[in-house]
Amino acid sequence: MYTRRNYSIKDMMKWTRRDTFVFIIIALVPVLLYSVLGQKWLHLPWLPISLIGTAVAFLVSFKNNASYDRLWEARKIWGGIVNTSRSFAMLTNTYISNKNAPNISDKELQTIKKTIINRHIAWMTVHRYTLRQTKPWEMFLKKVSDKEFSKLYDVQEWKHPMDKIIKPYLSEKEYAIIQGKQSQASQLLSLQSIHLKELKEQGLIWEFSYLEIKQLLVELFTLQGKNERIKNFPYPRQYATINLFFVWIFVLLLPFGIMNEFNTIGLELLKDINEESTGFLNQSYAFIATHFVWLSVPFSVLISWVFHTMERMGEVSENPFEGTANDVPITTMSRGIEIDILEIIGESDVPEPIPSLYDVQM
């Protein structure tokens, strides 16, 4: 239902091209000093560098697993919001009845139901706007390459003020009540509880039905709190920062170790060439063997790119509500819930689903 963008290798290379240019420079400089300027002392043994690479691989894997867990937990929480919202709309439509309150007409009853559902839509809207607020540790819009990709799609919470969006769903009194509150989403759920209690006292809801609906409100409070926990508690900074430092230490040391290994291979090739033969192939082989150290440049760039890109993948997955193309599509999901619950209570005037841009749903 909620598709994400399928990245091609072209997209990935474009996203990481600035880092790739840095890796090329880092790989070229040692080889230039070593091969052209004759600074043969500029090399390091491969064993300690490989040990650092192994440690970095474990750290990167740990970070990516932890980041994916945060992303997947957020998706499951919003799946819970989808299911609980549908149940809430179903019970609202079924349990709120004028059977024991004949003074309430069917039209007034439908108005009451729509008021409750609109208030729920306002709650979802406030909640997703809260989740889209930028935190100091969220780095997505601080990187140039990520800013470029953000221009390809539309994050509604960045372009439209929340007050303008929620106002049509609330009465003037309700809108005034939630203004200035620290947690407007919690206030809206509280207003739902107060309204349902009033309906029970009017005889529009049977007491046991009222308790069942109230339990769904408690579940919505729980789901809201789980999302806020993910939003307000970042991936531990000591792991994120040290992990990045270790990756760059490995990237900087890598050319000095891999350069020595390729140079050793070149020297071995020269020994295998028949020095007495002057054939064209042997001359070509000798040229390749003499300059074999230069092949360390593309290999250094490739290995650096793999490690650094894996680290960046973990970084962009840390905060699943930040607004990246691979975050939980809370805006699209909220619109889908809005359509479902309005149709459940019999409303025909429902909004259109939010279209995707470049296969990205937000």
Q: What is the DSSP letter of 34?
A: I
C-alpha span between 283 and 277 (Å, rounded): 9
Tell me the per-residue pLDDT of 117-169, one tens digit each, with 9 for 90 and over.
999 999 999 999 999 888 888 777 677 766 676 666 777 888 888 889 899 99
Domain boundaries, the chain: 8-42+236-317, 76-235+330-362
58: amino acid identity, one letter: F
Give pLDDT, residue 242. 85
Secondary structure, 3-state, 262-293:
HHHHHHHHHHHCCCCCCCHHHHHHHHHHHCHH
252: amino acid identity, one letter: L
Give pLDDT, residue 160. 83
Tokens of 215: 């339990």
Give pLDDT, residue 3. 43
In three-state secondary structure terms, 222 is helix
- Write the CB contacts of 42 (distance below 8 Å, at least 6 apart in sequence): 30, 33, 34, 256, 259
Tell me the per-residue pLDDT of 223-266, one tens digit each, with 9 for 90 and over.
999 999 999 988 887 777 888 899 999 999 999 988 888 887 77
How many whole angstroms from its chain centre is CA 92? 34
C-alpha span between 126 and 137 (Å, rounded): 22
pLDDT at 293 over 90: no
Q: Is 172 left (phi over 0), alpha (psi -120 to 50) or beta?
A: alpha
Tokens of 214: 């109230």
C-alpha span between 281 and 203 (Å, rounded): 98
C-alpha span between 116 and 192 (Å, rounded): 7
Band of the pLDDT at 281, cuts 50, 70, 90? low
In three-state secondary structure terms, 256 is helix
Strands in the chain per DSSP E? none
Tokens of 16: 């990481």
Give pLDDT, residue 317. 83
Give pLDDT, residue 18. 86
Hunting for tokens 């072209």 — which residue is that?
A: 10
Decide if 85 contacts 124 (C-beta within 8 A): yes
pLDDT at 58 over 50: yes
How many secondary structure helices (H) and strands (E) does the chain include? 14, 0
Pick the residue with more confidence: 147 or 329? 329
